[in-house]
């Protein structure tokens, strides 16, 4: 597996970085999304026949990382083209692909993703949102929480469960629910975290959907779900690495210029070494992210599951350490609005928590990779 980027990837990085620098931190997220769509960056992972770039999660992770490193990450890149675009590309009907993929690729439509529930988290085996047949239609009932961008999305890809006719057990299935569907309501969640993309609680009260709202095979179950969750973890890693790089760049610039007793503070090992360690950790996390993305793009869902979880874990830890060290490097200035680092103290923790906690990743690796027994 190649660990050195191709010339095409390097060119993509440079182009996206230039777009990020033009917009910068605190700009109009909607305009950035529109500009990225026009330039073809939002759909680099989607098939060319539907207006995409014909690449994969490897390319899309480059886009998100570079925008994050410029201080203007687009959270909905994780959701709309990465999760929803991947699932529809792989499992959607011809009509679903034609209706959604070109618009997801150019950014004129967005799709949110709803899996997390109040009592189940992201545990697909405990999801209580259920779908039952009613003639040719489906009726969907349940609740979701911490769903990003529902207010700006044209539809939400909802993870529900249907009854297996052979066993009577419930299995996960995916449904496209348009924003204004009767019975589908949302409530904003009051978050301490300041972000352009808002979080919502969703209620589905006997939401009636046509038969063609179902994505893929009703019996495919976890296969289709993990085809979306693996890219989600890779893209979360890209989000974290970009944020860590942004914070680190701020700290490096400050350490070069801030002079005490005629010496830049960056000359002192107490400042220089922790920054160097943060850089090393981010680079190592990027390598694992690239491996996970390559496995996703190769269609190795099992291998990608392990690598994507590891990449997300490593990137989350590296991001938190980089942000902490950046703030400490600036001292009191690290907590001022002028330098824009203090808000990242909270934001960096998101990569440790969402879309799956660091502890659940450790559970996954200990069970699936090391073969250790479960405690639950």
CA distance 304 to 234: 9
Sort 231 into a burial class: Cβ within 10 Å, 0-12 / 13-18 / 19+. buried
Residue 122: predicted pLDDT: 62
Domain count, the chain: 3
Percent of the chain residues topping a pLDDT of 70: 96
The rounded percent of the chain whose pLDDT value lies above 90 is 86
User: pLDDT by residue (tens digit) across 237-260?
Assistant: 999 999 999 999 999 999 999 999
Instruction: Please tell me the predicted confidence (pLDDT) of residue 249.
Output: 98
pTM: 0.95
Give yes or no: residues 365 and 226 share one domain: yes
Same domain, residue pair 242 and 361: yes
Instruction: Read off the CATH number of the domain in which 269 is found.
Output: 1.20.140.10
Range of the domain at 287: 222-369
Predicted local distance difference test score (pLDDT) of residue 96: 97
Instruction: Give the domain-ending residue among 199, 215, 231.
Output: 215
CA distance 155 to 49: 22
pLDDT digit string, tens, across residues 3-60: 678 999 999 999 999 999 999 998 899 999 999 999 999 999 999 999 999 999 999 9
Verify that 235 and 198 share a domain, yes or no. no
CA distance linking residue 304 with residue 295, whole number of Å: 5
Phi then psi dihedrals of residue 156, to 5 deg:
-125, 130
Residue numbers of the chain with a pLDDT score lower than 70: 1-3, 121-125, 164-169, 220-221
Residue 141 and residue 193 in one domain: yes
DSSP string, 253-292: HHHHH-EETTEEGGGSHHHHHHHHHHHHHHHHHHHHHHHH
Query: Which stretch of DSSP H or E encloses residue 210?
Result: none
Residues 302 and 232 grouped into a single domain = yes
Tell me, yes or no, whether 249 and 318 share the same domain: yes
């Amino acid at each position: 597996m190649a660990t050195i980027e191709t010339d095409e990837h390097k060119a993509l990085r440079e182009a996206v970085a230039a777009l990020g620098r033009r917009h910068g931190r605190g700009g109009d997220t909607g305009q950035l999304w529109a500009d990225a769509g026009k330039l073809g960056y939002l759909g680099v992972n989607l098939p060319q026949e539907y207006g995409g770039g014909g690449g994969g999660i490897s390319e899309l992770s480059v886009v998100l990382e570079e925008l994050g490193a410029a201080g203007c990450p687009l959270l909905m890149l994780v959701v709309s083209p990465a999760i929803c675009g991947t699932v529809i590309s792989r499992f959607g009907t011809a009509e679903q692909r034609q209706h959604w993929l070109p618009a997801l690729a150019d950014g004129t439509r967005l799709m949110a993703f709803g899996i997390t529930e109040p009592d189940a988290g992201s545990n697909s085996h405990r999801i209580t949102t259920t779908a039952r047949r009613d003639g040719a239609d489906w009726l969907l009932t349940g609740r979701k929480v911490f769903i990003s961008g529902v207010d700006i999305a044209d539809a939400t890809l909802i993870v529900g469960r249907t009854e297996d006719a052979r066993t009577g057990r419930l299995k996960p299935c995916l449904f496209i629910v348009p924003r204004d569907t009767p019975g589908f309501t949302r409530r904003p969640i009051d978050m301490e975290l300041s972000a352009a993309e808002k979080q919502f609680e969703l209620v589905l009260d006997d939401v009636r959907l046509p038969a063609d709202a179902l994505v893929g095979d009703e019996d495919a179950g976890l296969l289709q779900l993990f085809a979306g969750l693996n890219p989600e973890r890779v893209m979360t890693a890209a989000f974290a690495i970009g944020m860590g790089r942004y914070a680190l760049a701020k700290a490096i610039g400050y350490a070069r210029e801030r002079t005490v007793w005629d010496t830049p503070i960056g000359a002192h090992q107490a400042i220089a070494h922790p920054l160097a360690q943060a850089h090393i950790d981010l680079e190592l996390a990027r390598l694992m992210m690239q491996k996970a993305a390559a496995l996703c793009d190769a269609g190795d869902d099992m291998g990608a599951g392990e690598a994507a979880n590891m990449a997300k874990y490593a990137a989350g830890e590296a991001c938190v350490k980089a942000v902490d060290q950046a703030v400490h490097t600036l001292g009191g200035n690290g907590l001022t609005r002028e330098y824009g680092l203090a808000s990242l103290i909270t934001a960096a923790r998101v990569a440790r928590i969402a879309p799956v906690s660091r502890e659940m990743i450790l559970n996954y690796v200990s069970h699936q990779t090391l073969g250790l027994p479960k405690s639950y």
